[in-house]
Structure 1
């Protein structure tokens, strides 16, 4: 086994000029009141690698152009379709109008395990909340369901960009299973 060189990676990487020729995964992410510019930048990179439909930033979540976002996004701001909505309810309505099912990434009393999504849960919009308080209760009321990542340690949380990445990639895996791709 050997690690691929930078030049080898460049040969297999999609070119920005042809991205619109590929179908994106039917998954979008909403970040709700995320404080950290670095978490936002990390989510741009994660959404680029997952080839999501869209990243939506809401509330006081910072949005480009910001050098701190660019530092961790490494150019993904230019490759991920994104929007900013001051009000999350407008973002949820926007996604619903596009046919997306809305899921909060949150520990709730009836959450679905993150790896137990069904075919009918797609297209899927995952809402990730604030680093300290999670998804607001008022936002939970606007969601169709919630998904959670089991916690086995003392702390009952992951970093928002880490949790979102886990949920995103599990959703992508399940989408491919249901679509045999």
Structure 2
């Protein structure tokens, strides 16, 4: 097998990306402290054509060299907005989106059991690297998704979590839309 050159990958340019249809999904970053994690989430959002990223609380916003280092230009393609208060944002988003925290709580829905509805738009909330999604934000969401884990550690890196959950929802939505 021959490795493909970037020119052979048939990727969109920024202008095509901005006008292309997006999957009905926004990401909410609740008090993320690592600039590298923020940049990585931007890259994941670009890869799967996410509608928008909301940066909340202490989460840094572009432009910043450490975000740019891992985003590799995705801060230019992906729509984003800073909101100081995550709970207020969730209340606003619930008008149009089902808001789901990605966290470990009582009565969570394991990600592998979650079946998204193609007629529903989703907002996924990811939390701080140490404290996770705050209890107040969890309480304001309409549900909680949990990534099943089977090792000794209790959590995944936020950028990894976002990649796993976005991929899972993207692939399920693609499959469901083909069945229609």
State how far apart, in whole Å, the 2-side matches of 1:120 and 1:114 are. 14
Tell me the CA shift for residue 5 of structure 1.
1.1
Which residue pairs with 2:70 in the alignment? 72
- Kept in 2, the 8 Å contact 1:117–1:174? The answer is no
Structure 2: 5+ residue runs without aligned partners? none
1:148 CA drift (Å): 0.6
Q: Which residue of 2 aligns with 1:45?
A: 43
Other-structure match for 1:173: 171
Give 3-state SS (helix, strand or coil) of 2:55's partner: strand
- The partner residue of 1:57 within 55, 58, 62 is 55
The alignment of Structure 1 onto Structure 2 pairs a total of residues equal to 178
- 1:103 is aligned to 2:100: yes
Q: Distance in 2 between matches of 1:125 and 1:115?
A: 18
Q: Which shows bigger deviation, 20-29 or 132-141?
A: 20-29
Distance 1:120 1:2 in 2: 38
Q: Secondary structure at the match of 1:115?
A: helix
Q: Distance in 2 between matches of 1:63 and 1:159?
A: 19
Q: Is the 8 A contact 1:34 1:130 kept in 2?
A: yes
- The equivalences for 1:72-151 within 5 A come to 72-97=70-95, 99-120=96-117, 122-151=120-149
User: Is the 1:106–1:146 Cα contact (8 Å) retained in structure 2?
Assistant: yes
Match of 2:7 in 1: 7
Residue ranges of structure 1 left out of the alignment (5+ in a row) = none
TM-score, normalised with respect to structure 1: 0.93
